[in-house]
Amino acid sequence: MKSKLNPHISVDIVIFGFDAKSLKVLLVERTFHDSVRRKSIKDLKLPGSLVFERETLDHAAYRILKQLTGLDQIYLDQFAVFDSPERTKRKMDRAWLQATTGIKIGRIITVAYYSLIQFDRANGQLAHLKQKAHWTEIGDIHKLPFDHNDIIDYGLEHLREKIRSEPIALELLPKKFTLRQLQDLYEVLLNYDMDNRNFRKKIHRLGYFTALNEIEKSVNHKPARLYKFDKAKYRKIRKESVSFLP
């Protein structure tokens, strides 16, 4: 017997991607015709879904990611609950929910997650989407339905705090990367410039970034040496330090 949707609990996911220049969020199109108001709706929203009665919140979040990207083993972190009674006050939003779920919707509490995906890897899967998706630069996101702007802002705040103590930002980079790519990533995430020389000195002192006997390929500048993150060394050093940020 197919599990029913719970009309009061949902999951929304902020999917972050990094394209070597800017931080982006994956948004999906919301399109339907409101027959009552005789109005067509077409805008962007966060990926999300009501939760089935017989599934956990984490399972719902992974289900959404799998359906959206086709990818498995994606970094996912639950960071907040949004429970304002005003979340679904707009008639247009409630009409969309009813049109897409077949359920009369009132108040919905949503549990928010953020996910980190390598930009190139995700783009290779987006052709399989049932919904049209758009990578949108974080500074170019306009007004979204419900409280999705607040969810993105709070998700970014949580991410910025967590990357200071854990190496999760590396989920946004390929397994082999240059120090320039690593520095660019942290500068974009934290929204401030870092001194190039000091950054490299810190990286080498940390001890868990390993230089490889490989260089970049197919670049229009002098190829730089590639590095990788050594998880085993990090776990050993982690016992002696609470900070990760280079």
pLDDT digits 0-9 by tens, 101-139: 888 888 999 999 999 988 776 665 554 455 588 889 999
Please give the CATH superfamily to which domain 5-162 belongs. Nucleoside Triphosphate Pyrophosphohydrolase (3.90.79.10)
Q: 3-state SS string over 157-204? A: HHHHHHCCCCHHHHHHCCCCECHHHHHHHHHHHHCCCCCHHHHHHHHH
Say what the pLDDT of residue 131 is.
58
For residue 16, how many other CB atoms are within 10 A of its CB?
24
pLDDT in tens, the chain (246 residues): 457 999 999 999 999 999 888 999 999 998 877 666 677 878 899 999 999 999 999 999 999 988 888 777 889 999 999 999 999 998 888 888 888 888 888 899 999 999 998 877 666 555 445 558 888 999 999 999 999 999 999 999 999 999 988 889 999 999 999 999 999 999 999 998 999 999 999 888 888 899 999 988 877 778 889 999 998 888 887 766 556 666
Say what the pLDDT of residue 239 is.
65
> For tokens 């989407």, what's the residue?
129
**Eight-class DSSP state of 85:** T
167-238 is a CATH 3.20.20.70 domain: no
Buried b (16+ CB within 10 A) or exposed e, 139-157: eebeebbbbbeebbebbbe
In the chain, where are the structural domains located?
5-162, 167-238
